[in-house]
Chain A
Amino acid sequence: QVQLQESGPGLVKPSGTLSLTCGVSGGSISSSDWCIWVRQPPGRGLEWIGEISHRGSTSYNPSIKSRVIVSQDKPKNQFSLELTSVTAADTAVYYCARSEGGSVVYWGQGILVTVSS
């Protein structure tokens, strides 16, 4: 049973950098389709942020592409998100996820990140 767990600070200052890590258990990220980050602002729907393949290829949402980096650490079986120059609009629950056959199949439990001074 694949399980994902997000970790990182729950509070980030405006103009700072949001950094999150997703630990994966029950399956190697080397065998994944894609390792994915999705966010959900309060009261709103899901927004794709970006993803990385097991080969290291990345794709990002064009709306935030200039501020996002998704990376992976295969020995630690984890992947990470960096979002720079954050504002209050980046306040959201951040989910890590894994795909199989193209679609998201496994979701983390989510972590609330608040951008505030």
Chain B
Amino acid sequence: QPVLTQSSSASASLGSSVKLTCTLSSGHSSYIIAWHQQQPGKAPRYLMRLEGSGSYTKGSGVPDRFSGSTSGADRYLTISNLQFEDEADYCCETWDSNTRVFGGGTKLTVL
């Protein structure tokens, strides 16, 4: 079954950009993933679906500042013009016919 690896933490300054990474395990580099945002004390929120081609589809109401991209087994979430409200945990998800997997999440701090 696939495994998703994420860095535990990241930080960036207000108004700057940050690129978060989710890496698929060997043999699963073509898998589609989804990115979710979880602000402190809140339920997760779906951000986007990201394919191996780099094509992504965002959820309803997700700001244009959020975008996705792909390189091999790596799936990226880029947040531009960082706002304090973007300080949150960001988690990736993938699935196949018999399983669903979440990455450990990256805690983003906005300085």
- Please give the residue numbers on chain A whose beta carbons come within 8 Å of chain B beta carbons, in ascending order: 36, 38, 45-48, 51, 59, 61, 95, 99, 101-110
Instruction: Please tell me the size bucket of the interface on B.
Output: 20 to 34
B34 at the interface (CB under 8 A from A): yes
CB distance from B30 to the nearest CB of A (A): 13
C-alpha spacing A108/B44, complex, angstroms: 9
Given A104-B34, A104-B36, A105-B59, A51-B100 contact (CB < 8 Å)? yes
Number of CB contacts from chain A to chain B under 8 A? 54
C-alpha spacing A43/B59, complex, angstroms: 26
B95 at the interface (CB under 8 A from A): yes
- Please give the residue numbers on chain B whose beta carbons come within 8 Å of chain A beta carbons, in ascending order: 32-34, 36, 43-46, 49, 59, 89, 91, 93, 95, 98-105
CB pair A45 B103 closer than 8 Å: yes
CB pair B102 A103 closer than 8 Å: no
CB pair A103 B95 closer than 8 Å: yes
CB distance from A39 to the nearest CB of B (A): 11
Contacts of A46 in B (CB 8 A): 36, 44, 91, 93, 102, 105
Which of chain A's residues has its CB closest to B97's CB? A59
CB pair B100 A36 closer than 8 Å: yes
The contact sample of 10 A-B pairs, CB cut-off 8 A, is A36-B100, A38-B102, A45-B104, A45-B105, A46-B105, A102-B49, A102-B95, A103-B32, A104-B46, A104-B93
